[in-house]
Every structure is written in C-alpha cells, then in structure tokens.
Amino acid sequence: MIHQLIFAHPKPGMTEEEFQRYWLEVHGPNYAAKIPQIVKYCVNTRIPLGPEPDDPMWSGIAEIWLRNDEEQIASLQTPEFLEGARKDEPNWAAFWRTVVLDTDAHTLKAGPGPGRPHPVKLVMLVKRKNGTTVAEFRERALTGHARLALDIPGLERYLQCHVRDGGYAIGEPVLDAAWQLSFEDETALAAAVDSPEFKAFQEDLSAFCETRYIHSMAVREHWLIGTEDV
C-alpha cells in the first residue's frame, strides 16, 4: 500500500481558514475523493502549536492510500483527476509550494480504534545526516529511536512514513521520512511536547537527522474516505 502525503499552502490572497474550509468542503469531497483508485483519504488541517509563524510553510496535509504503483499511475490518468482535482488546484492551493512524499508506512503503535473522531497529531519531517545511508537511517529510526517515542506521555498512535525506494531511483529526495505522533486532543499534545520524554526524543532525532530539515506541524485529522483502521 502506498501512503502518500501532500503538503499544501494557500494560494495568494486566501487566508488559512478559507483554504482549509475549501479543502474540506469543496476540493476534498467533490474532486479528490472521487478518484476511484483512492482507498483512503484524510485531510489534516494545521492547528497552532507554540509561537505562530507569520507564514506557515504549509497549512494542511492530505494523506492518500493507493494499493500499488499501477493504480497510482492509473489514478493520474482518470478524468476525475485531470478534469477534477488537478483543474481545481489553482482555485485554492499555491501549487509551487506543494511537497509530495510517496511513503511506506510503519505502524509502531496502533491507534485506539475508529471510535475516536478527529484526533490531533504532530507531523515531523526529517532528513538523515550527511554520510548516513538510507539503510542505516531506517534501522536507527525504526528501532532505538522508535522506542524513545513510545515513552512520550499521551501518545495514542505512532507511524513512521519512509520515502519509498523508488524515490531514490533518480536522485536524492529532499526528505527521507515523516513521523506521525497522534494524541487525544490539543491539551494532550501540548503536554507531551513539554515532557522530558519528548525532549529526549528530540535530542535523539538531532543525533541522526539534519536539524535544519526537521520541520514540525500540528494538525487535526478529517477523514473523507475510510478511517485509520479501515
């Protein structure tokens, strides 16, 4: 299963609130969700965490699940994509600031079940240190580093989404992975970020990732197709 993450920013002149509302009420249900090859589709809208930047790098993240490479290619050739989702993109998104990651997701901690609506989560983008191989990075991330994450108080679900091998076929990707740390609500997330366990987790991350590429973003989930557990 391909787990695709799409990081998006509002078009010029559109507020973040307008951008998020358009995505949830117009683009998501009327265009993207109609692409037949998409198995699951979740829109994550940015929420405040700590000091607010004047211009956030992104204001939302789409998560799309597709069964395999063949269905992903087929999805890009459908009228629902070409005449729908792609054509609608300039109406709300600054496409030149969009970042797309095709990943393989590793579930390090499963969620509490589909009965918990719209959990919040911290998404962290990372890039391995220079001189570290992809295999070394993945081994460190999925073992010792993952164990530190599991100690963070209030953590309900934990995914590591690693860029697929195909992303390295024609060069070096800008990023290697995205972490997803889910919590019950914003209060639980804020408490977790202030905990000594999270600080230890951050220190370890800086030991094997390039700190200038670590980017964190708090978001709220909105499922349009399926749920995390379906």
Q: Taking residues 104-126, what's their average pLDDT?
A: 87
Residue spans of beta strands (DSSP E) within 19-67? 40-46, 60-66
Exposure string of 47-66, with b = 16+ CB inside 10 Å and e = fewer, is eebeeeeeeeebbbbbbbbb
Q: Which helix (H) or strand (E) holds 160?
A: strand 157-163
Any residues with CB less than 8 A from the CB of 136 and at least 6 apart, and which?
A: 128
Computed over every residue of the chain, the mean pLDDT equals: 95
47: pLDDT strictly greater than 90: yes
Neighbours of 3 (CB within 10 A): 21
pLDDT at 230 over 60: no
Tell me what pLDDT residue 182 has: 96
Would the pLDDT of 145 be above 90?
Answer: yes
| Predicted local distance difference test score (pLDDT) of residue 115 | 60
- For 2-225, the fitting CATH number among 3.30.70.100, 3.30.1490.20, 3.40.640.10, 3.30.1330.20 is 3.30.70.100
Q: Indicate the residue type of 111.
A: G
User: How many Å apart are CA 116 and CA 16, to the nearest integer?
Assistant: 25
Each residue of 56-76: pLDDT tens digit? 999 999 999 999 999 999 999
Sign of CA dihedral 151, 193, 189, 222: negative
C-alpha–C-alpha distance, residues 182 and 156, integer Å = 5
Nearest by Cα to 27 from 83, 85, 80: 85
pLDDT over 80 at 81, yes or no: yes
Confidence of residue 114 (pLDDT cuts 50, 70, 90): low
Report residue 54's pLDDT band, with 50, 70 and 90 as the boundaries.
confident
173, 100 contact by CB (below 8 A)? no
> Looking at the predicted structure, is the pLDDT value of residue 108 above 90?
yes
The yes-or-no verdict on residue 116 having pLDDT over 90 is no
Mean pLDDT, range 107-114, rounded to an integer: 83
Task: Quote the pLDDT of residue 53.
Answer: 86
Q: Nearest Cα to 155, choosing from 99, 205, 198?
A: 198
Dihedrals phi, psi of 33, to nearest 5 degrees: -70, -10
- Cβ partners under 8 Å of residue 187, min gap 6: none
Counting residues of the chain whose pLDDT is more than 70, the rounded percentage is: 97
